[in-house]
Chains A and B, each alone.
Chain A
Amino acid sequence: MPSLSADNRDDALQNGAVPAPAPAKPRRRRPELVLALIVLGLGVFVIAGTANVTAAASTLGLGPRFFPLLVGAAMILIGICYVIDVLRGGHGDPEESEDVDAQAPADWRGVFTVSVIFLAFAALLDLLGWVIAGALLFFGLALALGATSRLRAAAVAVILSVATYLAFVKGLGVTLPAGLLSGVI
């Protein structure tokens, strides 16, 4: 994604140079516009997507389309207000949490790495089985999040995935794929 580095710089500028909560820079890129447009688009999608839903005519005109029409119309209205708000420089407060440094520039590489690891896990889970795929997921994420000792991360990963498998499959009767280790565990 080519726009990411520019965005990153933008954040760095905003947070480094202008610590005030409302930076009044005239031509700031607005990534939030994408979210606002998604809200607007979803409104259109709800109305268009339920256009061909019909039901037996006995329902006094209040078939399965009625409520989606309301929600869709509301979403379009909200979406328009949201787009206008973003264009006029409005913004919400990014959520605060114990481990979040609201001043730090966004680490897009980290988000990308975590995304790849998670999607790979989703794709390979059935093949590899919970124990192996789960351990790899934990190990990968821990390293991506900055775990310093690989050996320790690997050990914790294996212990966790085996323990959850035993606890949930043998203990609680939840079905999890055995994968490559079927028959062994």
Chain B
Amino acid sequence: MDALGLLLDGFATALTPVNLLYALMGVTLGTLVGVLPGIGPAMTVALLLPITFSVEPASAFIMFAGIYYGGMYGGSTTSILLNTPGESASMITALEGNKMARRGRAAQALATAAIGSFVAGTIATALLVVAAPLVVEFAISFGPEDYFALAVLAFTAVSSVLSRSVVRGLASLGLGLVIGLVGIDQQTGQARLTLGIPQLLDGIDVVLVAVGLFALGEALYVVSRLRHTPPEVLGVGRAWMGRADWSRSWAPWLRGTALGFPFGALPGGGAEIPTFLSYAAEKRLAKGPAKEEFGKGAIEGVAGPEAANNASAAGTLVPLLTLGLPTSATAAIMLAAFQQYGLQPGPQLFDHNPALVWGMVASLFIGNTMLLVLNLPLAPLWAQVLRVPRPYLYAGIVLFAALGVYALNNSWIDLILLYLLGLLGFAMRRFGLPVAPAVIGLILGPMAEIQLRRALAIGAGDVTVLVTSPVAAVLLSCSALALFIPLLRRLRSR
């Protein structure tokens, strides 16, 4: 009941006019960037990091959480109305969603996606309220070796799950770790890998790396492979659905939520796997006419995965808030935001900043409701956004990327660094290296180093302290499994 009381206090924080405004801004912006190709919630939050310095932390995180949730709603619109796969979290939605739209059932597809996202988001946020205090209670006894093992698990899981090629996932992670090493060592004040450039003493800013890898990297990649025929956007009226659609949708929503939430909370789980599992489950469970419809536009194939990806977004917040452990790129950038405010997510955050944590959680309920209102009646408007001419879209993305990065230090050197990181992002996309491990390595790497050194200092140089804690031993075994299972599978298939 304690969590309930805190949540009510959180609503008091979230329901102030200013914070309602930030929530509205967040969800609107999130839907917009979710709908727009080429830019997603991770990059948007990164670009907004410097601008929110003058804003109260609670307001900033209410906005960021709105962007994260909104991005999940917006992505489904793209998948349904555009005949190409959109961002990875809503790729599965395109399978049935686009087919439905082609058969003239775009309104129903959008409605089941939006209402399903609302149902899943609300249930999953409630699960977050229940789960977070339990995890906090468990994590309060964690020592530095346990936190180090958690970071290692996040590294290996993200690298091996997000890419079909483990070595490419690990290469991406390593690139992030190396970038994170640049600058002054936090414990001894020694400069590392700065090449004698004074601007590098403070390290390479997270904003710069994220914007370079996401925005400029994407723009360069798109230039190299631009689809010259403009994508076909299917028209749509108001999103609505009939009685039959409701009765076919509610069970997939609940099953999608049940799959999405735990996967979102797991390191390396993310949104892709639960959407895929949900699709597979719905396809198998389908009976009668629905079974025939699969592959030609079955509403179950939209309802399940859309619920799953929203539930996974809520799931992601559990390890982020309770352990400081990001499991997705957007969560990693949000962790960077906490650090910029001098806050460290974890059990202490719940003790010291209950207003911030619970205000953010409460705002998720509010944001979800706003998103339902934004997405059901306004679907035709978002469909219009998809028609933005691509030259203007990508030119605009680069312009805002340059603006955000230049505003950091007013230095053209940052713009050159931005370009170099953009080239790296381009190469990573071209050769199929996932970007998320690099971002997680960059942000979690320095924390892993601190915890490792702390653990070894407590153990007075004895390396076994890293495995004597049962929690750490289990986590490290899981990371070893995450690395070796794909290898074993590959060997066996040979």
Contacts and interface: CB of A to CB of B under 8 A. Distances in A.
Interface of A: 32, 35-36, 39, 42-43, 45-46, 49-50, 53-56, 59-64, 66-68, 71, 74-75, 78-79, 81-82, 85, 90-102, 104, 106-108, 110-111, 114-115, 118-119, 121-123, 125-126, 130, 134, 137-139, 141-147, 153, 156-157, 160-161, 164, 168, 172-177
B410 A175 contact: yes
B193 interface: yes
Nearest to A80: B167
Contacts of A62: 453, 456-457, 461
B419 A115 contact: yes
Contacts of B224: 106-108, 110-111
B171 A107 contact: no
- Chain A facing B: main interface SS: helix
Q: A-B pairs with the 3 shortest C-beta distances?
A: A92-B432, A98-B37, A122-B415
- B394, B403, B432, most chain A CB atoms within 10 A: B403
B457 A97 contact: no
Contact of B430 (A59, A94, A130, A177): A94
A35 B412 contact: no
A55 to B, nearest CB: 4
A101 to B, nearest CB: 4
B69 interface: no
B217 to A, nearest CB: 10
B352 interface: no
Contacts of B494: none
Given A53-B190, A101-B226, A60 B167 contact: no
Contacts of A94: 429-432
- A46, A99, A145, A156, most chain B CB atoms within 10 A: A99
Given A78-B167, A107-B224, A111-B220, A63 B399 contact: no
16 contacts: A32-B431, A43-B174, A50-B193, A55-B190, A59-B457, A71-B177, A75-B174, A78-B167, A81-B170, A91-B165, A100-B221, A115-B220, A121-B402, A137-B402, A142-B391, A157-B395
B187 interface: yes
A78 B227 contact: no
Contacts of B457: 59-60, 62
Interface residues of B, number: 84
Contacts of A54: 190
A9 B262 CA distance: 46
Given A81-B170, A82-B171, A111-B220, 15 more contacts: A42-B175, A66-B453, A74-B174, A92-B168, A92-B432, A96-B84, A96-B85, A98-B82, A99-B222, A99-B231, A100-B222, A111-B223, A114-B223, A142-B395, A160-B396
Interface in B168-199: 168, 170-171, 174-175, 177-178, 181, 185, 187-193, 195
Contacts of B406: 125, 176
A119 B391 contact: no
Given A63-B188, A122-B415, A82 B168 contact: yes
B468 to A, nearest CB: 18
Contact of B391 (A32, A90, A111, A141): A141
Nearest to A66: B453
B117 to A, nearest CB: 20
Contacts of B38: 97-99
Contacts of B225: 100-102, 104, 106-107
A39 B171 contact: yes
A70 to B, nearest CB: 8
A121 B415 contact: yes
Contact of B192 (A53, A91, A156): A53
Contacts of B82: 98
A145 B38 CA distance: 14
Interface string B37-66: 110000000000011001000000000000
Given A119-B416, A125-B412, A134 B402 contact: yes
Nearest to A104: B225
Contacts of A50: 181, 192-193
Contact of A122 (B171, B195, B407, B419): B419
A33 to B, nearest CB: 10
Contacts of B461: 60-62
B460 A60 contact: yes
A100 B227 contact: yes
A168 B408 CA distance: 13
Nearest to B51: A172
B287 interface: no
Given A64-B185, A110-B226, A95 B221 contact: yes
- B171, B419, B427, most chain A CB atoms within 10 A: B171
A49 B192 contact: yes
Interface string B135-172: 00000000000000000000000000001110110110
B375 to A, nearest CB: 19
B13 to A, nearest CB: 23
Contacts of A32: 431
Nearest to A118: B419
Contacts of A59: 187-188, 457
Contact of A104 (B168, B187, B227): B227
Contacts of B188: 55-56, 59, 63-64
B412 A82 contact: no
Nearest to A83: B167
Interface string B228-254: 100100000000000000000000000
Interface string B442-463: 0001001100110011001100
B78 interface: yes
A95 B165 CA distance: 13
Given A59-B188, A98-B82, A35 B431 contact: yes
Contacts of B402: 118, 121-122, 134, 137
Given A35-B431, A78-B174, A145 B391 contact: yes
A101 B218 CA distance: 13
